[in-house]
């Protein structure tokens, strides 16, 4: 793998790693932000349901005050008049009040008058013994710290029936005393009441008695969570729905009922869409940066390195140290080219000196050989053997000369 491919691979991997790190960091931050916003929205809607419940309690409280602080009720507590019952506590009157339970309790805790109303049959009916057992002098409903104080809360009856009750002391129309007993109104928390909560809040509202919530789909986890001291719990149902739960306690402070709301996860979807757009933006920005980085590296570095490498290869292939690299600029690469040119010049000068030295060595070798030959000749000439030969040769020349000279005339 050449330098260009290595550099491009390093740039691509580095920028992709940066995109991944940025996406993970921003998705964690934005995910936490959108998650917190979603939870706050669910809690706000839970509060709306709680407010609707309190509005129901407030409406019942207003009825109790209206009837308890009334001279006719005040007189009834003393006279036990059947006329009052016939005129004010008949079926039509109780049905118009929209209550399911009416009870007048004496100051000592005994029941002066009580009746129930069945909206399905439209008839009055006696109160259950389980309910009457909770309307005693020891009941928190009958303990008042002030003359005009009222008490409200839930009573859990057998069969997990939930009764919303309100109690106030029976006084004169001018809220004077002494109190002659307690008036209790009650409304069963039925589907109609729950539907009213839903219509007031424009939410999907459902309820389950706390004791039975473990067996109701969608309430089991909430019951376990709310049973550990928390009064609210949030649980995603799916990728499109989220549920919020709140706990309401009875008049004794014990868990009584769990309210459940379901909401579309619009904030969650908005967060997911934002993260997708963020990822797309990071990918596009990463691709642009990768392209720009590669172009700039190619133009400013890689092409110049390739040009420098090609020039060196050309000089090597031609074996011509007189050629020089041409790389304009004032950066490190141009400096490297200048250093290579200086090295080539030094190398050429070194080669030239080497050749001159070789020539001198060759000439010196010839001279040495000639001198050696001369010494050899001198040694041969000066030897006794050669001297003896020379002597004999001289004698032979002399004898030949004498023979020639002494021949016939």
CA distance 183 to 169: 6
Question: Which of 332, 340, 334 lies closest to 314 in space, CA to CA?
Answer: 340
The answer, yes or no, to whether residue 409 has pLDDT greater than 60, is no
**Helix extents (H) in 80-190:** 82-88, 91-97, 129-132
Cα dihedral across residues 298, 301, 306, 311: positive or negative: positive
Name the burial class of residue 218, with classes exposed (0-12), middle (13-18) and buried (19+) by CB atoms within 10 angstroms of its CB.
Answer: middle
CA distance 140 to 137: 8
Lowest mean pLDDT among 131-135, 209-213, 273-277, 341-345: 341-345
Q: So what's the pLDDT on residue 211?
A: 86
pLDDT band at residue 360 using 50, 70 and 90 as cut-offs: confident
Name the burial class of residue 106, with classes exposed (0-12), middle (13-18) and buried (19+) by CB atoms within 10 angstroms of its CB.
Answer: middle
pLDDT band at residue 170 using 50, 70 and 90 as cut-offs: very high
Name the burial class of residue 92, with classes exposed (0-12), middle (13-18) and buried (19+) by CB atoms within 10 angstroms of its CB.
Answer: exposed
Answer yes or no: are the C-beta atoms of 216 and 245 closer than 8 Å: no
pLDDT tens figures, 231-258? 889 999 888 899 999 999 988 888 999 9
Mean pLDDT of 219-223: 87
CA distance 300 to 22: 28
State residue 228 phi and psi, 5-degree precision: -105, 30
Q: So what's the pLDDT on residue 338?
A: 80
Task: List the beta strands (DSSP E) in 190-296.
Answer: 204-209, 232-236, 241-249, 255-264
Cα dihedral across residues 72, 75, 80, 81: positive or negative: negative
How many other CB atoms are found less than 10 A from the CB of residue 265?
21
pTM over 0.75: no
Mean pLDDT of 114-121: 91
Domains of the chain are 69-202 (3.30.450.20), 203-215+225-264 (no CATH)
Largest interatomic CA distance in the chain: 215
Q: So what's the pLDDT on residue 59?
A: 92
The answer, yes or no, to whether residue 104 has pLDDT greater than 50, is yes
Paired tokens of 184: 């209790």
Paired tokens of 154: 């839930």
pLDDT band at residue 301 using 50, 70 and 90 as cut-offs: confident
Three-state DSSP class for residue 89: coil
pLDDT above 90 covers a percentage of the chain that reads 32
pLDDT tens figures, 302-348? 777 877 778 888 777 877 777 777 777 777 777 787 888 888 888 88
The answer, yes or no, to whether residue 173 has pLDDT greater than 90, is yes
Q: So what's the pLDDT on residue 215?
A: 82
How many other CB atoms are found less than 10 A from the CB of residue 104?
25
Q: So what's the pLDDT on residue 382?
A: 76
Task: List the beta strands (DSSP E) in 72-203.
Answer: 101-105, 111-118, 123-125, 150-157, 161-169, 182-188
Q: So what's the pLDDT on residue 118?
A: 92
pLDDT band at residue 225 using 50, 70 and 90 as cut-offs: confident
Q: To the nearest whole number, what is the mean pLDDT of the chain? A: 86
Pairing of strands 232-236, 123-125: unpaired
pLDDT tens figures, 260-295? 999 998 888 888 888 889 889 988 988 898 888 888
Q: So what's the pLDDT on residue 166?
A: 93
Answer yes or no: are the C-beta atoms of 184 and 167 closer than 8 Å: yes
């Amino acid at each position: 793998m050449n330098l260009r491919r290595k550099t491009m691979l390093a740039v691509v991997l580095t920028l992709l790693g940066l995109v991944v790190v940025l996406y993970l960091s921003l998705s964690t931050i934005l995910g936490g932000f959108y998650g917190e916003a979603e939870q706050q929205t669910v809690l706000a809607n839970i509060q709306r349901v709680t407010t609707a419940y309190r509005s129901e309690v407030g409406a019942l409280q207003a009825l109790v005050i209206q009837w308890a602080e009334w001279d006719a009720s005040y007189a009834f507590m003393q006279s036990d008049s059947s006329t009052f019952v016939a005129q004010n506590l008949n079926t039509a009157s109780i049905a118009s009040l929209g209550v399911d339970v009416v009870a007048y309790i004496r100051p000592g805790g005994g029941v002066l008058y009580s009746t129930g109303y069945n909206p399905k049959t439209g008839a009055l009916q006696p109160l259950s013994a389980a309910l009457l057992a909770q309307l005693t002098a020891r009941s928190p409903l009958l303990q008042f710290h002030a003359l005009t104080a009222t008490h409200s809360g839930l009573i859990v009856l057998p069969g997990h029936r939930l009764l919303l009750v309100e109690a106030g002391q029976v006084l004169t129309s001018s809220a004077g005393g002494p109190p002659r007993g307690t008036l209790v109104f009650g409304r069963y928390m039925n589907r109609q009441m729950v539907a009213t909560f839903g219509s007031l809040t424009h939410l999907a509202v459902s309820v389950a008695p706390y004791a039975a919530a473990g067996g109701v789909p969608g309430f089991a986890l909430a019951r376990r969570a709310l049973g550990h001291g928390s009064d609210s719990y949030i649980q995603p149902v799916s990728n499109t729905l989220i549920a919020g739960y709140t706990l309401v306690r009875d008049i004794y402070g014990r868990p009584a009922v769990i309210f459940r709301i379901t909401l579309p996860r619009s904030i969650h979807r908005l967060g997911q869409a934002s993260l997708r757009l963020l990822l797309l933006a990071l990918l596009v920005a990463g691709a642009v940066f990768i392209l720009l980085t590669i172009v700039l590296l190619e133009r400013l570095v890689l092409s110049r390195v390739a040009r420098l490498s090609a020039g060196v290869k050309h000089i090597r292939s031609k074996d011509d140290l007189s050629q020089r690299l041409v790389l304009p600029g004032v950066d490190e690469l141009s400096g490297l080219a200048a250093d290579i040119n200086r090295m080539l010049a030094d190398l050429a000068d070194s080669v030239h000196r080497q050749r001159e030295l070789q020539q001198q060595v060759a000439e010196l070798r010839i001279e040495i050989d000639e001198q050696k030959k001369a010494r050899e000749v001198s040694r041969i000439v000066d030897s006794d053997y050669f001297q003896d030969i020379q002597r004999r040769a001289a004698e032979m020349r002399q004898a030949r000369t004498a023979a020639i000279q002494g021949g016939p005339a």
